[in-house]
Amino acid sequence: MTDVAQPPKTTVSVTIDGRAHDATPGQLVIAACADAGVHVPHFCWHPRMSPVGMCRQCIVEVDTPRGPAMVVSCMTPVAEGQVVRTDSPQVKRAQEGVLELLLANHPLDCPVCDKGGECPLQDQAFSHGPGESRFVEEKRHYEKPIPISDLVLLDRERCILCDRCTRFADEVAGDPLISFTSRGNATQVMTFPEEPFASYFSGNTVQICPVGALTATPYRFKARPWDLDQVESTCTTCAVGCRVVVQSSRNELVRLQGVDVDAVNWGWLCDRGRFSFEAVNSPDRLAAPALRDGGALRDASWSEAIGAAARAIAAADPSRVAIVGGARGTNEDAFAWAALADALGVVRRDARMGDGLPPEVLALPQATIDDVCRARTIVLLGPDLKEELPVLYLRVRHAAQSRRSRLVECTPRATGLTPYAWRAVAHEPGMQARTVAALLAEPEVAAQLAAGEVAVVVGRGNLAEDDRWTMEALGEVLAAAPSARVLPAMRRGNVRGALTAGLAPRDASGATPAILEAAAAGGIAVLVLLGADPVADAPDADLARRALARVPHVVSVDAFLHESNAGAHVLLPTAVHGEKSGTTTNVEGRVSDVAQQIVPRGTARPDWMIASELAAALGRDLGLGSLAQVRAAMAARVPAFAPVADVRATRGEGVLTARPAPLPMPRGGAVARDRNGYNYRLVVSRTLWDGAIATRRSPSLAPLARPAEVVLHPADLARVGAAEGAAVRVGVGEVTVTLPVRADAGVARGSAWVPALRGAGLEPLLAGARDVVDVRIEAER
């Protein structure tokens, strides 16, 4: 021994098949082998789930004091001086034996199996298998695929019982709705009778299934792996920015698979992101420009349609031109439109739909997803991440579950994360500043915050209240934890990128609600809807309808017809995700690329190109004639996008936007008016299956749309005197809507929750809504 302190060793020296390798401390042998370029065959092990050592395929030999021992490399940690052999005759014999046993009861239906061609079991059998089976007995028989949910089918004959899907459901998704049942040779994966695997994340089980036991309805029998073309991209269904591989066959999208990037999605996707590509293939897509001609729409050429839009814009004073939307496109799309608006002097523009948070939230000290998940304390204000940003929910759940982080939640009703929260309180709408202040003042909570490393996830938890109440509550949190960093949970695809690129209001008159009000009052001559459907997306649908009716020229850049553009004067078909390239910005300001995989529908083209052509028709050369020019101009002119200049930086994990010096947040604390005790205060919030356009146009997802309902605390339901499922009248002022009622202890006493749903007849409740909305609820007689 010497008394000279050795620097702590940061690697573990092991020998793998005779070659020295420096492994990471605590790493499993199978992972160390992978790092060393040695592939150990395996089925049950998955790097993002806890090891179970069940399939036994990854057996290797490790030297121990008592001689070489066969161990499973997925459950054996590396140790200093360890000698690992993956290629000895004993190891080969053991691996071949396991493979023969795995195949014993596995059906020989590879030719009709969707997994054929990309099947780890098939690959392993070809490369290491004994060729011919010696198993002459009758194989296990089960009814061929049975649906275990609306999206997933299970073929139990193909299942090798690796525990990946069941582990995922339990460990990762927190939806243990599938389980091993029975025992031994009769073991099978199954749901509870009449209780399907209704998880928002069910598609992941299909992706990680190492055989063809689990298949998803959107892909079944659509293509063979060897016919697929694919490109890596980023999902833009919500703002998490999950990395994906987009796969197509004969110019039709057929599948999205998650890609594991450490900073974002760890390989997981939500079912909405995974399956809503179906809408891209919808026959209802707009394929050609159209013009309103004497009341009816007729197909038009691009030059005709662009010309019509240009004439309308040229004729109007820039102060009477407005642009709403842009969050569904790429950063480049938004930048080109912002450049056009700049050139024309249009100040009314907003990528938000009045259902988000003020842009000031982006000027606070920002947290990344990783920052949040490494924080000592995570404060969640507002939304239910499981419903709005599903994969962010998985990440935060993991952080709270693995006990690295303590979650403090202040939301208008219980969320998907409530079961994992250290402290969870439900606040009355409008009163969150008071509730959160009281919560943070509790000595234990105050001590927790005082320990530092606080991250705040903040979003809009209620569409039936003013966004300022959330900001007032955020002010309270930042006053209590001044060094906290903030992750703005803005849910719409690329809303952060569009705002950053310039589709942000320059003053109060430019926000979407103000635009709609001006339009309804006759103050807007040309309204450009950039992939926007304000009737569905803005909280006040009534206002949106009145606005659209008064605008003489509505120009809609969209992929579908919907209520907001049904009366438009110019329709310009746009290319959508999968049909165009560019970059997108996620919730944390991470820019990653989206890639074109198929040719756009008809003559549809990307938004940036439409902006550029419209500018030309208006006699302005934006200098944005190619995607590369748009990207270069954007990186040069928008400081936050400077890192995007190098296109390679946006691949894989992507790159964070440059952060300006944060602005201080004023101390909040204000709350709304008190509620009259006879009334219920309304909470309207998003859910995953909300009937949004892309899910409505995806045949597999459309049936999942949830029903309209009003949900009360059980004690309030009793007070109303209605039975579970009965119809109740929900009234505001003179307006009444009738909805079925349900009890849920997750709704606070005195609150009434209604899911935000398109076309469910809820609009009257939010008409003219400002501060908060108090409703009467009466049982139907």
Partner 1 sequence: MSRLDDDRLRIARDVIARFPRPKSAVIPLLHLAQEQDGWVTTEAMAHIAELVGVTPADVYGTASFYEMFKFHPVGTWCINVCTNISCQLVGAWDLLRHAEERLGVHAGGTTEDGAFTLEDVECIAACTEAPALQVNYRYRTRVTPADFDRLVDDLRAGRLAEEIPPHGTLARVRQAQTEAWANRGVEAQAAVDAR
Partner 2 sequence: MIAAGTVPTGPRVVTSRFDVADGHTYEGYVRTGGSAALQRAVTSMTPTQVHDEVKAAELQGRGGAGVPAGAKWGFLPADVHPRYLVINGDESEPGTYKDRLLMERDPHQLIEGIVLACYALGAAQAFLYVRGEMALAQERLAAALNDAYAHGKVGRRICGTDFSVDVTLTWGAGAYIVGEETALIESLEGERGMPRLKPPYFPAVKGLYMQPTIVNNVETLSNLPYIVGQGGATFKAHGAATSSGMRMFAVSGHVERPGVFEVPNGTTTFRMLFEAPEYCGGVRAGGRVKAFIPGGASAMWFFEEHLDTPLDKPTVDKAGSMLGSGAIVVMDQTTDMVAACWRIVRFFARESCGKCTPCREGTNWLEKILKRMLDGHGRPEDIDLLFDVSESISPGIAWPPRQTTICPLGPSAVSPIASAVRRFRPEFEHYVAHGRPVDGVVSPFARALAGTR
Tokens of 324: 């709403």
Taking the complex as a whole, the smallest distance from the CB of residue 56 to partner 2 amounts, in Å, to 5
Touching partner 1, residues 166-225 (CB under 8 A): 175-183, 190-195
CB 725 within 8 A of CB 742: yes
> Does residue 59 bind partner 2 (CB under 8 A)?
yes
> Does residue 483 bind partner 1 (CB under 8 A)?
no
Touching partner 2, residues 548-607 (CB under 8 A): none
Q: Return d(Cα 686, Cα 428) in angstroms, integer.
A: 17
Strand pairing of 710-712 and 751-755? Answer: antiparallel
DSSP state of 674: P
Q: Which is nearer to partner 1, 27 or 188 (CB)?
A: 188
Taking the complex as a whole, the smallest distance from the CB of residue 98 to partner 1 amounts, in Å, to 23
Select the binding partner of residue 137 from partner 2, partner 1, none (C-beta < 5 to 8 A, by kind): partner 2
Select the binding partner of residue 70 from partner 2, partner 1, none (C-beta < 5 to 8 A, by kind): partner 2
Total residues binding partner 2 (CB under 8 A): 31
Taking the complex as a whole, the smallest distance from the CB of residue 583 to partner 2 amounts, in Å, to 44
Touching partner 2, residues 146-165 (CB under 8 A): 160-161
CB 574 within 8 A of CB 610: yes
Q: Return d(Cα 312, Cα 21) in angstroms, integer.
A: 69
Residue type, 109: D
Residue with the two structure tokens 């929910």 = 393
Q: Return d(Cα 613, Cα 379) in angstroms, integer.
A: 46
- What CA–CA distances, in Å, run from 357 to 471, 512, 688? 8, 12, 19
Strand pairing of 321-325 and 406-411? Answer: unpaired
Select the binding partner of residue 766 from partner 2, partner 1, none (C-beta < 5 to 8 A, by kind): none
Stated length of the chain? 781
Taking the complex as a whole, the smallest distance from the CB of residue 691 to partner 2 amounts, in Å, to 39
CB 106 within 8 A of CB 158: yes
Residue with the two structure tokens 């988000």 = 356
Residue 486: CB atoms within 10 Å: 26
> Does residue 55 bind partner 2 (CB under 8 A)?
yes
Q: Which is nearer to partner 2, 60 or 455 (CB)?
A: 60
Q: Which is nearer to partner 2, 50 or 483 (CB)?
A: 50
Residue type, 89: P
> Does residue 403 bind partner 1 (CB under 8 A)?
yes
Select the binding partner of residue 192 from partner 1, partner 2, none (C-beta < 5 to 8 A, by kind): partner 1
* Among 266, 369, 201, CA closest to 49: 266
Rg (CA), the chain: 28
Select the binding partner of residue 781 from partner 2, partner 1, none (C-beta < 5 to 8 A, by kind): none
Burial class of 574 by CB neighbour count within 10 A (0 to 12, 13 to 18, 19+): buried
Q: Which is nearer to partner 1, 65 or 193 (CB)?
A: 193
Select the binding partner of residue 101 from partner 2, partner 1, none (C-beta < 5 to 8 A, by kind): partner 2
Taking the complex as a whole, the smallest distance from the CB of residue 171 to partner 1 amounts, in Å, to 13
Question: Which residue in 29, 36, 40, 54 binds partner 2 (CB under 8 A)?
Answer: 54
Helix (H, G, I), strand (E, B) or coil at 712: strand
> Does residue 714 bind partner 1 (CB under 8 A)?
no
Taking the complex as a whole, the smallest distance from the CB of residue 183 to partner 2 amounts, in Å, to 5
Q: How far is CA 263 from the centre of its chain?
A: 14
**Strand (E) positions, 168-239?**
178-181, 188-191, 214-216, 229-234
> Does residue 143 bind partner 1 (CB under 8 A)?
no
Question: Which residue in 92, 180, 703, 745 binds partner 2 (CB under 8 A)?
Answer: 180
Tokens of 197: 């695997």
> Does residue 105 bind partner 2 (CB under 8 A)?
yes
> Does residue 190 bind partner 2 (CB under 8 A)?
no
CB 534 within 8 A of CB 547: yes
Taking the complex as a whole, the smallest distance from the CB of residue 27 to partner 2 amounts, in Å, to 14
Residue with the two structure tokens 């992706």 = 207
Select the binding partner of residue 97 from partner 1, partner 2, none (C-beta < 5 to 8 A, by kind): partner 2
List, as one string, the DSSP characters of 425-493: EE--TT-HHHHHHHHHHSHHHHHHHHT--EEEEE----TTB-THHHHHHHHHHHHHSTT-EEEE---BT
- What CA–CA distances, in Å, run from 399 to 270, 354, 381? 18, 31, 17
Q: Which is nearer to partner 2, 141 or 770 (CB)?
A: 141
Select the binding partner of residue 105 from partner 2, partner 1, none (C-beta < 5 to 8 A, by kind): partner 2
> Does residue 46 bind partner 2 (CB under 8 A)?
no
Burial class of 686 by CB neighbour count within 10 A (0 to 12, 13 to 18, 19+): buried
Taking the complex as a whole, the smallest distance from the CB of residue 166 to partner 2 amounts, in Å, to 11
Q: Which is nearer to partner 1, 142 or 302 (CB)?
A: 142
> Does residue 50 bind partner 1 (CB under 8 A)?
no
Total residues binding partner 1 (CB under 8 A): 16
Q: Which is nearer to partner 2, 6 or 402 (CB)?
A: 402
From 177-185, 515-523, 597-605, 715-723, span contacting partner 2 (CB under 8 A):
177-185
**Residues forming a β-bridge with 738:** 729
Taking the complex as a whole, the smallest distance from the CB of residue 453 to partner 1 amounts, in Å, to 17
CB 302 within 8 A of CB 612: no
Q: Which is nearer to partner 1, 18 or 193 (CB)?
A: 193
Taking the complex as a whole, the smallest distance from the CB of residue 175 to partner 2 amounts, in Å, to 18
Touching partner 2, residues 126-145 (CB under 8 A): 134-135, 137
Tokens of 430: 């409008």
Backbone angles phi, psi at 159, to 5 degrees: -65, 135
Name residues whose C-beta falls within 8 Å of residue 778's C-beta, 6 or more positions apart in sequence. Answer: 720, 728, 729, 731
> Does residue 735 bind partner 1 (CB under 8 A)?
no
Select the binding partner of residue 72 from partner 2, partner 1, none (C-beta < 5 to 8 A, by kind): partner 2
Residue 268: CB atoms within 10 Å: 25
Tokens of 186: 């009769």
Touching partner 2, residues 62-91 (CB under 8 A): 70, 72, 75, 90
From 51-59, 242-250, 449-457, 577-585, span contacting partner 2 (CB under 8 A):
51-59
Name residues whose C-beta falls within 8 Å of residue 474's C-beta, 6 or more positions apart in sequence. Answer: 361, 381, 456, 458, 486, 665, 668
Taking the complex as a whole, the smallest distance from the CB of residue 61 to partner 2 amounts, in Å, to 11
Q: Which is nearer to partner 1, 265 or 448 (CB)?
A: 448
> Does residue 185 bind partner 2 (CB under 8 A)?
yes
Q: Which is nearer to partner 2, 183 or 250 (CB)?
A: 183
> Does residue 97 bind partner 2 (CB under 8 A)?
yes
Q: What share of the chain is helix, strand, coil (3-state, %, to 5)?
A: 30, 20, 45
Q: Return d(Cα 129, Cα 28) in angstroms, integer.
A: 26
Taking the complex as a whole, the smallest distance from the CB of residue 255 to partner 2 amounts, in Å, to 29
Question: Which residue in 79, 101, 228, 618 binds partner 2 (CB under 8 A)?
Answer: 101
Given the rule CB under 8 A, which residues bind partner 1?
A: 175-183, 190-195, 403
- Residues in contact with partner 2 by CB under 8 A are 53-57, 59, 70, 72, 75, 90, 93-94, 97-98, 100-102, 104-105, 134-135, 137, 160-161, 180, 182-187
